[in-house]
Chain A
Amino acid sequence: MPLGIFILVSVIKSLIILIVLLTAVAYTVWLERKVVGHMQNRWGPTRVGPFGLLQPAADGLKFLFKEDLTPPHVYKPLFLAAPMMAVIFALTSISVIPFGNSFVFGPFSLPHFLPFHWGGLVIGPYDIPLQITDVNIGLLMILGVTSLGVYGVALAGWSSNNKYSLLGGLRASAQMVSYEIALGLSLVGVLIQSGSFSLRDIVDAQGGHFLGFIPRWNIFHGQFIGFFVYLMAAYAETNRIPFDLPEAETELVAGYHTEYSSMKFAMFFMAEYANMITVACLATLLFFGGWHGPLFGPPLMQALLPVFWFVAKVVCFLFLYIWVRGTLPRFRYDQLMDFGWKFLLPLAIANLVATAIAVAW
């Protein structure tokens, strides 16, 4: 593929994925309000559009037009930079996530009236993977970028010059650093089984079936404990209930984003939901076979079904997030630390050792 075409294809793919991701973020918020509403025996948003479907657009407009307050005693450069960092790191990690197999583009020839020597030029065939970029350290890159996401939260808490914000920021950094270890170790079992850091290779290794009908996904392939540890640690990493100590409203007003308003607050909100989506994508790719699923129907449907299966699995995980939020109360801080260090970490190490022995056998 020539460099010009490569850059063009990359830009188009990045744009599409960015737009889809931001729309997905908006509708995850809608889904959460709707589902939690029904769990609490109320309706959730119903007024804007059918089933409240236009509510995210209304919320976005409201955030844009709200007054953007900057409190007087904040440390301004970091106060402004923190929400941007949060959202940038949250959006970056999606760049290595594959959504499906590749599709072949072209060949087709350009029309003859074009200037220069472009007329009649044959383009393609190009094999375009459904992913912004496939790097051989994909999983490590996601871990690296999400570990940088702590800075947005920690610096927001510090620069706000507010005790509740500072406590929220400190809690967030301590919690995220602690659970990152269990998160990383829980993934090593999968890595041992597939023998690659590339997310595409990991998904490809999960094709096929056991006994003809049980899919060969990692969760049915001895990684159930790994999945459990990953799920718990990932909930803690995204600061979601029951691990939402950094923004515990009963103790800390709103935690690290207490002083933020308008679009700056919305950026933290977007970062949280984008992180949720990344975590759900990663769970799907690593433990639930990515885009593998039954294929049937005409050729076009067969081409689109893998993406559909991938999205369906991700939506299931997002629903699980919301379900947990509607069900569980918040941990106490000492319980949170005990759970992370004394339960999840040993469990992750045990899973790693067991997987290593099983593979070496």
Chain B
Amino acid sequence: MNFHLILFSAFGAVCVAGAVNLLAQRHPINSALSLITVMAALAGEYLLLGAEFVAAVQVIVYAGAIMVLFVFVIMLLNAGEEEETKGSRVAVMFGVPGMLIGGVLIAWVVLRHSGTEAVAIGALPGDPRDIAQLLFHNFLLPFEVTSVLILIAIMGAVVLASKPESQGKVD
């Protein structure tokens, strides 16, 4: 059996186990850590597929920056264990069948349309040079527009988070 395939399956198993654990854990910080495991395992999958740059960015941006902020917020709020409820009836009636149908649909689409064109392990064009060519040449305009969009979102967050002057002077 192929060494790549064994590693790929192992990372996939870790990824799924992390995702299940994320839902099963009662404490928010454990869930956040499970999510980090999922991110790291996904990075491993990307690496095996040959997309080294995407893998590195996955670790740096998601596991190293965004999730740090998640953990930071959980620590600041000192969120405790979540309360256990019996689960809503709506979730059982609509959620479970919906999830099953969705899963079947995705499986059907993947099996129907992937055919022989599925990407072979290690064959994805993931060289930093190729990605730079795509990002800063072929798709330069969408890239710049997205960055402006993110800037607007940040400014919106700052405006919403900062209290108005008049309210600060109360008391």
Near A by CB (< 8 A), chain B positions 45-73 give 52-53, 55-57, 59-60, 63-65, 68-69, 71-72
Residues of B within 8 A of A144 (CB): 43, 56, 59-60, 63-64
B76 and A170: CB pair below 8 A?
yes
- Contact among A3, A135, A173 with B72 in the assembled complex (CB-CB below 8 Å): A173
Could you say which residues of chain A place their CB within 8 Å of the CB of B71?
A: 151, 154-155, 158, 173
Cβ contact of A137, chosen from B3, B36, B56, B76, cutoff 8 A: B56
Q: Are B52 and A169 neighbours in the complex by a CB distance under 8 Å?
A: no
A138-171 near B? 1/0 per residue, CB < 8 Å: 0011011101101100110110000000100110
Give CA–CA (A291, B76) in the complex, Å: 45
B22 adjacent to chain A (CB < 8 Å) = no
User: Does B59 contact A150, Cβ atoms closer than 8 Å?
Assistant: no
Contacts of B60 in A (CB 8 A): 140, 143-144, 147, 184
Instruction: Return chain A residues, CB-CB under 8 Å to B52.
Output: 135-137
Which of under 10, 10 to 19, 20 to 34, or 35 or more describes the interface residues of B? 20 to 34
Instruction: Tell me if B128 counts as interface (CB < 8 A to partner A).
Output: yes
Contact A148 B59 (CB under 8 A): yes
- Using Cβ atoms and an 8 Å threshold, which residues of chain B touch A20? none
Mark contacts of A172-186 with chain B using CB atoms, 8 A cut-off: 1 yes-contact digit, 0 otherwise: 011011001000100
Looking at the complex, which one of A158, A166, A180 makes contact with B29 (CB distance below 8 Å)?
Answer: A158
Residue among B43, B53, B75, B127 having the largest count of chain A Cβ atoms under 10 Å = B75
Measured CA separation A89–B64 after assembly (Å):
12
A184 / chain B contacts, CB cutoff of 8 Å: 60
A154 and B75 contact, Cβ closer than 8 Å, known pairs A137-B53, A173-B68, A177-B65: yes
A136 contacts across to B, CB distance below 8 A: 52, 127-128
Assess A169 versus B75: contact at CB under 8 Å? Given A137-B56, A137-B128, A148-B59: yes
Query: B7-41, CB under 8 A of A: which get 1 and which 0?
Result: 00000000000000000000001000100100000
A197–B132 alpha-carbon span in the complex (Å):
13
Q: Is the CB of B128 within 8 A of A158?
A: no
Q: Known: A136-B52, A177-B68, A177-B69. Contact between A147 and B59, CB under 8 A? A: yes
Kindly identify which residue among B43, B53, B59, B72 contacts A154, using a CB–CB cutoff of 8 Å.
B72
With A and B bound together, what is the CA distance between A280 and B55 in angstroms? 25
Judged by a CB distance under 8 angstroms, whether A78 is at the interface is: yes
List the count of A-B residue pairs having beta carbons below 8 Å apart: 71
Q: Is B56's CB under 8 angstroms from A151's CB?
A: no
Of residues 37 to 70 in A, which have CB atoms within 8 Å of B's CB atoms?
Answer: none
Most buried by B among A150, A166, A184: A150
Residues in B with CB closer than 8 Å to A147 are 59-60, 63-65, 68
Best-buried of B3, B64, B72 by chain A (most CB within 10 Å)? B64
Give Cα A3–Cα B3 distance, bound, in whole angstroms. Answer: 10
Q: Which residues of B contact A173 (CB under 8 A)?
A: 68, 71-72, 75
Q: Which of A136, A137, A141, A173 has the most CB of B within 10 A?
A: A137
* Nearest-CB residue, chain B, relative to A147: B64
Q: Which residue of B lies closest to A149 (CB)?
A: B64
Q: In whole angstroms, what is the CA distance A154 to B74 when docked? A: 11
**Chain A contacts for B3, CB-based, 8 A:** 3
A154 vs B68: C-alpha distance when bound (angstroms): 9
Cα–Cα, bound, A143→B52 (Å): 14
Query: Could you say which of A135, A136, A170 has the most chain B C-beta atoms within 10 Å of its C-beta?
Result: A136
Given contacts A141-B56, A147-B60, is CB(A180)–CB(B75) below 8 Å? no
Nearest CB in chain A: distance from B125 CB, A: 13
Q: Quick one: CB contact mask for A3-22 with B, threshold 8 Å, 1 for yes? A: 10000000000000000000
18 further A-B contacts with Cβ under 8 Å, apart from A137-B53, A158-B75, are A78-B29, A78-B33, A136-B128, A137-B52, A143-B60, A144-B43, A144-B64, A147-B63, A147-B65, A147-B68, A150-B64, A154-B68, A155-B29, A157-B75, A169-B75, A170-B72, A170-B76, A197-B128
Q: What are some 18 contacts across the A-B interface (CB < 8 A)?
A: A78-B33, A135-B52, A144-B60, A147-B63, A148-B59, A148-B63, A148-B64, A150-B68, A151-B36, A154-B68, A154-B71, A154-B75, A158-B71, A170-B72, A170-B75, A174-B72, A177-B65, A184-B60
